[in-house]
Amino acid sequence: MMITITNRENCMGCYACAAICPKTCISMESDNEGFWYPVVDHDRCIECGMCVKVCPIIQTPHKEREQGTKPLAYAAYNKDDTVRLDSSSGGLFTLIAEEVLSVGGVVFGARFDDRFNVIHDYVEKVDKLSDFRGSKYVQSRIGDSYEQVQEFLQQGRLVLFTGTPCQISGLKHYLGKDFDNLLCQDIVCHGVPSPTVWQKYVAYRENRAGASARRIAFRRKDRGWKRYSVSFLFNNNTEYLQILHQDLYMQAFLKDICLRPSCHACQFKTVNRESDLTLADFWGIQNVLPEMDDDKGTSFVIIHSEKGKQLFERIQRSLVSHEVDVWQGIQYNSAMIRSAKRHPHRDEFFEQLDHERIDILIRRLCRDKLPVRIKRKLVAGVRLILEKLGLLETAKRVLRRGRSV
């Protein structure tokens, strides 16, 4: 018995099968869309069935993941504004990671390599945490991370592993048992875009700038947390900075045209999860707890285990937090429980990916209808005028009062 992919919606590229193979005869190879799938070397395979035994999709039915009591939930943000503004939402990851590192632990997360591919890696020093900070809207390559986690755990070291829910599940199935010294923190994941699409976009931006990129950030808060910007800083000291809805890559991502097939039928969209904590943006905080909304970023924190609860309590001294009902956060972040819808032109997008320039392709297939574009420009224009007049915060307060009446 060996792993066989007959429906690509049933493989999320978690790497568990490749990591567990005793003969290392499973390689993760990119398909024509740029997503990794297991490929078995049949000549070396001994049909031990280990790859099937660790597959989260095969071994853990979706209904089992939905079981459990309603978890504790919080709105929270880091008291350190420098870290908070450098983070995607409220700066909670940094506090959690610092706590683990302070006792000699190891932290795993996603970072850019020198060509802005997204890879999983680990750090043992606080000054390296900035590599993991901030969202990366690309599927990360797990590589040898599961084996490295296991080695650190067996040494008795505390390990924090951060990733998407399916990556957490892949790790848990690979390990095959619980470890008291393992902490897992996942995210509310919209879906993972193709690494190939991302690399084509990086090349497009570098070509436009006439220089290679030095630094890339998906979530700059120059215009606030809710209107974050994509930033490319180039080696000729120029910068591309564009708010999320006007950046072409973010349009493709948010329109769900370049996501992995499994993201459209995700089996990990549940309230109760295999992780110890879930972190996300607390969109809608202005309606739930307006006193916590300063547009610098507020995190939605969900506690799934006693280990997660104890860890959250240990960082309380560095937080502003308020307990909420878990559904108060989910109602504004439905990606927690709902898969992204398949874009009607998804197949055409990938068929043309190697034949049409990436910017032209995205504009052609993802462009908003005229009324939506007009509305967005009007809202942006009104916001800019209010900012210049110093009336933006007053207008926000008036709107909040109107909603509460």
The mean pLDDT of 263-287, rounded to a whole number, is 95
The mean pLDDT of 66-79, rounded to a whole number, is 89
Q: In this model, does residue 380 exceed pLDDT 60?
A: no
* Helices and strands (H and E) in the chain: how many: 17, 13
pLDDT in tens, 319-338: 999 999 999 999 999 999 99
Q: In this model, does residue 398 exceed pLDDT 90?
A: no
- Residue 2: its H or E element: none
List, as one string, the DSSP characters of 257-284. Answer: SSB-GGGGG-TT--SS-SSSEEEEE-TT
- Residue 194: its H or E element: none
- Reduce the DSSP state of residue 47 to 3 states and report it: coil
Helix crossing, 392-404 with 370-389: angle to 10°? 120
Q: List, edge to edge, every strand of the sheet that includes 239-243.
A: 213-220, 229-234, 239-243
The answer to whether the beta carbons of residues 275 and 160 sit under 8 Å apart is no
Integer distance in angstroms from the first to the last C-alpha of the chain?
Answer: 62
pLDDT in tens, 289-317: 999 999 999 999 999 999 999 999 999 99
Q: In this model, does residue 379 exceed pLDDT 60?
A: no
The mean pLDDT of 147-152, rounded to a whole number, is 98
Q: Which two tokens stand for residue 79?
A: 């008291």
Q: What are phi and psi of 186, to 5 degrees?
A: -105, -175
Residues 6+ apart with CB under 8 A from 76: 90, 92, 298, 299, 301, 319, 320, 321, 322
The answer to whether the beta carbons of residues 275 and 185 sit under 8 Å apart is yes
Q: What are phi and psi of 382, to 5 degrees?
A: -65, -40
pLDDT band at residue 405 using 50, 70 and 90 as cut-offs: very low
Q: Which CATH class is domain 8-64?
A: alpha beta
pLDDT in tens, 182-235: 999 999 999 999 999 999 999 999 999 999 999 999 999 999 999 999 999 999
pLDDT at 126 (0 to 100): 96
Q: Which two tokens stand for residue 130?
A: 């900035």
Residues 6+ apart with CB under 8 A from 53: 20, 59, 173
Q: Which range, of 77-86, 235-244, 386-395, averages the lowest pLDDT?
A: 386-395
The answer to whether the beta carbons of residues 129 and 123 sit under 8 Å apart is yes
Tell me the CA distances in angstroms from 96 to 45, 297, 318, one per residue in order.
Answer: 41, 17, 10
Q: Which two tokens stand for residue 231?
A: 């930033």
For residue 176, the Cα-to-chain-centroid distance in whole angstroms is 25
What is the β-pairing status of strands 319-324 and 72-78? antiparallel
Token look-up 């992919």 returns 5
What is the β-pairing status of strands 277-281 and 182-187? parallel
* In the chain, where the domains are located: 8-64, 65-192+259-336, 370-405
Question: How many C-beta neighbours within 10 Å does residue 30 have?
Answer: 13
The percent of residues in the chain predicted with pLDDT above 70, rounded, is 90
The percent of residues in the chain predicted with pLDDT above 90, rounded, is 85
Q: Which two tokens stand for residue 153?
A: 């755990």
Tell me the CA distances in angstroms from 312 to 62, 65, 132, one per residue in order.
Answer: 28, 23, 19
Q: In this model, does residue 390 exceed pLDDT 90?
A: no
